[in-house]
Amino acid sequence: MPITSTEIAQLATTNVAVHPLVLLSVADHHARSAARSSNKRVVGILLGQDNGKTVNVANSFAVPFEEDDKDPKTWFLDHDYIDGMWGMFKKVNARERPVGWYHTGPKMRASDQEINELFKKFIPRPVMVIVDVREDTVGIPTDAYFAVEEIKDDGTETQKTFLHVPSTIEAEEAEEIGVEHLLRDIKHSTTTTLSTRVQEQLSSLRGLQSRILEIRDYLRSVAKGDLPINHQIVYHVQDALNLLPDLDDPAKTKAFTVNNNDQLLVVYLSSLLRAVIALHALVDNKESIGKAELEEKEGEDEKKAKSSTPGAKKADDAKDEKKGDSKDEDKGL
């Protein structure tokens, strides 16, 4: 049955919380399958709790799945395998129930609606989570969707589509400890805290840039007529633009300028201190080298002075005479 705009608005506020264990399982599933060397995707079941306003995705398992690259309508999914795996998971932890399914897209496919209809036999309200497992992915690698059947604006007919809902990455205390140990092994031990913070900020800015580019491409496609107008997306974009500061206001422009100058002053003073410390270290290094050379020269001068005194010469002559006498005695023998 088609749902009303009020139900769609309520569904859009549903938050999907994905745990790190699910991300690791999906990445391992993709790495172990043949999809890593091709453009194929992998599919699996998501386990957790659906509380209405929040869908907690705490676990997952892989499902045998095949599809034809040339014909997106041709695909295969093992039903018996899902029943068997769910029966075993239920014996271990009955609190975790199937809440949806995942695939590694990284984008939607034409067969997603049919696959989602199939999962409705097992799950009343399945959530579809697309996990981007590409190494160059920046930002949160998950996108969550609910399948809805909404009425068109003119009220003539209904259409099946996916409604995007917000998704977050949440972890329990045990998972946080495991992720910290994993990141500690991945990150280089010689990196400093400052460089790590700068790298994290750079990654955040890259993620923001990718989202802005997606919004730009979407608005261009809507303006050209390639995509239909989605008023909900337009409202969200308008809200985001309304939150931006008005840079035409002289007071805000001055505040931004003062803040920027303060930060640049700290950077300038840091550069000066670094240059002074480096110069001081260079002077100390030259001074220590000069002292070592002076001590070495004084030692050589003392040796030359001792060898040039008359007493030293007589002692050397006496040594030479003793050596000559010993040689003559040897010859006489």
Q: What is the pLDDT of residues 66-123, one digit of tens each?
A: 888 788 788 999 888 998 998 898 888 888 999 999 999 888 888 999 999 999 888 8
196 or 240, higher pLDDT = 240
- For the segment 234-258, the average pLDDT, to the nearest whole number, is 87
Quick one: pLDDT at residue 105? 82
Residue 332 has pLDDT above 80, yes or no: no
pTM given for the model: 0.60
Lowest mean pLDDT among 35-44, 190-199, 265-274, 287-296: 190-199
- The predicted pLDDT at position 6 comes to 67
Percentage of the chain modeled with pLDDT above 70: 83
Instruction: List C-alpha distances in Å: 150 to 155, 162, 260.
Output: 10, 10, 48
Q: What is the largest CA-CA distance in the chain?
A: 137
Residue 279: pLDDT over 90? yes
Chain-centroid distance, C-alpha 96: 28
Rounded mean pLDDT of 172-187? 72
Is 90 exceeded by the pLDDT of residue 261?
Answer: yes
| Distance (Å) of CA 187 to CA 156, 170, 275 | 56, 21, 30
Q: Which of 276-285, 293-302, 315-324 has the highest mean pLDDT?
A: 276-285
**Residues contacting 105, CB < 8 A, separation 6+:** 41, 130, 131, 132
CA-angle at 302, arms to 296 and 307, nearest 5°: 130
Using the predicted structure, report yes or no on whether residue 152 has a pLDDT greater than 70. no
| Region 253-266 average pLDDT | 90
Q: Is the pLDDT of residue 124 over 90?
A: no
Greatest mean pLDDT among 26-40, 84-98, 129-143, 152-166: 84-98
Least confident of 206-210, 238-242, 302-306: 302-306
Which residues, listed in sequence order, are joined to residue 159 by a DSSP beta bridge?
Answer: 150
For 277, the enclosing helix (H) or strand (E) is helix 250-307
Stretch 138-167: mean pLDDT, rounded?
A: 80
What is the reported pLDDT for 219?
92
- Distance, CA of 229 to CA of 215 (rounded, Å): 13
Asked whether residue 273 carries a pLDDT value surpassing 90, the answer given is: yes
For helices 193-224 and 231-243, angle between their N-to-C axes, nearest 10 degrees: 130
Give the model's pLDDT for residue 302.
80
More confident residue, 11 or 49: 49
The fraction of the chain above a pLDDT of 90, given in percent, is 29
3-class DSSP assignment, residue 129: strand
The pLDDT of residue 333 is 43
The candidate with the shortest Cα–Cα distance to 232, out of 295, 281, 285, 165, is 165
Distance CA 75, CA 66 (A): 6
Instruction: Give the pLDDT score at 309.
Output: 59
Report pLDDT digits (tens) over 18-69: 998 899 899 889 988 866 667 789 999 999 999 888 999 999 999 999 888 7
CA distance 134 to 30: 10
Residue 195: pLDDT above 80?
no
